[in-house]
């Protein structure tokens, strides 16, 4: 016999759908939520409802937004001729926190991954090409992760743009030793990449 | 400028109230919930609402329930003369999974902890004494954790019962080496306790 009432058991099942949450963590979270005197259950429930009702994808860059256009696409101070291509909305957050991009974004919502059956049509790649064809974009910065899928998607984007002879400069974010990192702890691929793409220091 | 829309930011704040969830985990969970195509947000929201609406404490043992009495207190096959005192509802689950108790429970919802300002009146201790005074209970098994607070609460319960001269046998769950544990990895207090409370093997 299950000593937990059904609604609690249901909540545990729902929490188990979250990444990295198993039976034990879900039970701990559910009991914590129930034991919270500041109505965490109610607040969280309302918050989830609002999110699922109001959050949509921006029709231009496919970032998350609760407005007709996302806040970045709406911003007149951004340069629309530069488009930075990323895998996920969280990558936009990471790049925005660096305050280093004055252009706009394009969120692919995935990467091409033949092994997982994800082709170019399954992510927002056709939308990227359409966007590049229609608008006067001068540079596409491909900022997918330096992984097998990220590199593969980068090469695929390059090929698509070159095939269509779009007048767009393509660039790839730099790969190398992260700031504060130590050479002795880096893997060989990163070291090889850091050496290969070394910057030449020009003297005036 | 925050690149995340307000409803998403709100959800992240709510998720951060969960134990062990910081900014990064909350963001990851929120984005996962949003990206889930099987309406995890809606399901989780409904589940939380149902839980916060329907789950109450059993008026007898203070376990969680969605009925007027909890499933254990309702069960006619359980022996009401044995009461096992535990700290939290999750302890009931743990003990029930062992199928080793035929009696009922009493959930204290905390332990006496002077350092945190939690006195006997702040937990369900008065209710325990009332329950013992009214009903014909023959044994109270104190199954609080073998921690400072757990031991302190055990001694306090013992004193209360003895002061009131209640005709109740008091027992404490055994403390020792867990099954499958290794002596060399045990702390000194556990080893001392295991030796002190050794069982004598009686030959017939």
pLDDT in tens, B42-61: 898 999 888 888 888 999 99
Phi, then psi, of B127 in degrees rounded to 5: -65, -35
Where does CATH 3.40.1360.10 sit in chain A?
57-202
Where does CATH 1.10.8.420 sit in chain B?
6-54
CB proximity under 8 Å: A 46-85 to B: 46-52, 54-55, 63-67, 70-72, 75
Q: Touching check for B94 and chain A: CB below 8 Å?
A: no
The CA distance from B113 to B120, in Å, is 9
CB neighbour burial string for B99-115, b if at least 16 within 10 angstroms, e if fewer: eebebbbbbbbbbbbee
DSSP code string of B111-128: --BGGGTB-GGGTTHHHH
Phi, then psi, of A106 in degrees rounded to 5: -140, 115
CB–CB of A44 and B40 under 8 A? no
The CA distance from B129 to B1, in Å, is 58
Domain B57-202, CATH: 3.40.1360.10
Please list the rounded mean pLDDT of every run of 10 residues in chain A (204 residues): 79 91 90 82 89 88 90 92 92 86 93 93 93 89 91 93 91 87 84 82 67
A128: left (phi over 0), alpha (psi -120 to 50) or beta: alpha
Predicted complex ipTM = 0.74
Structure tokens, B100:
């080793």
pTM of the model: 0.72
DSSP conformational letter for A163: H
Which superfamily is assigned to A6-54 in CATH? RecR Domain 1 (1.10.8.420)
Q: Touching check for A31 and chain B: CB below 8 Å?
A: yes
Pick from A8, A32, A44: CB nearest B64 = A8
CB–CB of A54 and B7 under 8 A? yes
Cβ-count burial of B68 within 10 angstroms (0-12 exposed, 13-18 middle, 19+ buried)? Answer: exposed
- Chain B residues with beta carbon closer than 8 angstroms to that of A34: 51-52, 55, 64, 89
């Amino acid at each position: 016999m299950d000593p937990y009432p059904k609604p609690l058991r249901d909540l545990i099942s729902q929490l188990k759908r979250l990444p990295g949450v198993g039976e034990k963590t879900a039970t701990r979270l559910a009991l914590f939520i129930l034991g919270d005197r500041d109505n965490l259950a109610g607040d969280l429930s309302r918050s989830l409802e609002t999110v699922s009702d109001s959050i949509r994808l921006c029709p231009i860059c496919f970032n998350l937004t609760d407005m007709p256009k996302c806040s970045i696409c709406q911003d007149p101070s951004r340069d629309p001729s530069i488009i930075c291509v990323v895998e996920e909305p969280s990558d936009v957050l990471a790049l925005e926190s660096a305050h280093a991009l004055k252009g706009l974004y394009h969120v692919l919502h995935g990467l091409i991954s033949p092994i997982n059956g994800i082709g170019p049509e399954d992510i927002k790649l056709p939308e990227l090409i359409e966007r590049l064809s229609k608008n006067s974009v001068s540079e596409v910065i491909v900022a997918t992760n330096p992984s097998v899928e990220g590199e593969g998607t980068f090469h695929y984007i390059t090929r698509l743009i070159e095939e269509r002879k779009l007048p767009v400069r393509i660039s790839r974010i730099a790969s190398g030793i992260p700031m504060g990192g130590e050479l002795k702890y880096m893997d060989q691929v990163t070291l090889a990449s850091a050496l290969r793409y070394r910057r030449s220091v020009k003297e005036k």
